[in-house]
Amino acid sequence: MAAIESLLLKDSNEPIQKSLGERMAFVIGNSLEQRKQIVANVEDFYRIRSRLIHHGREAGPRDMEVIDRFFFNVWWTLRNLVASVDKYKTKEQLLLVLKDRKLS
């Protein structure tokens, strides 16, 4: 989580779920429906994470599906970012491109 957050979040003032979900969606989502699913998965994952870390609750079978999907999406996001590392000179440039995709 730290790796993907450090790559896709501008600073500590950004809302993690919203920013991370949208940026991951624009890196790996090929359709509106896929992007919506990625955003929803990130939100679900962080809710589960909060329950586990802050409230000591165990993860159930449905939670494990969400967690597995999240890390699959993280893996694909990292893979795509590594494959396009020559396109962006800085993290700021990458974030600007993702912002432009969102607004296009």
67, 59 contact by CB (below 8 A): yes
pTM: 0.90
Q: Is 104 helix (H, G, I), strand (E, B) or coil?
A: coil
pLDDT digits (tens, 9 = 90+) for 72-104: 999 999 999 999 999 999 999 999 999 999 888
State the number of CA atoms in the 13 A half-sphere of 84 facing the CB: 16
pLDDT, residue 103, reads 86
pLDDT digits (tens, 9 = 90+) for 10-64: 999 999 999 999 999 999 999 999 999 999 999 999 999 988 888 777 878 899 9
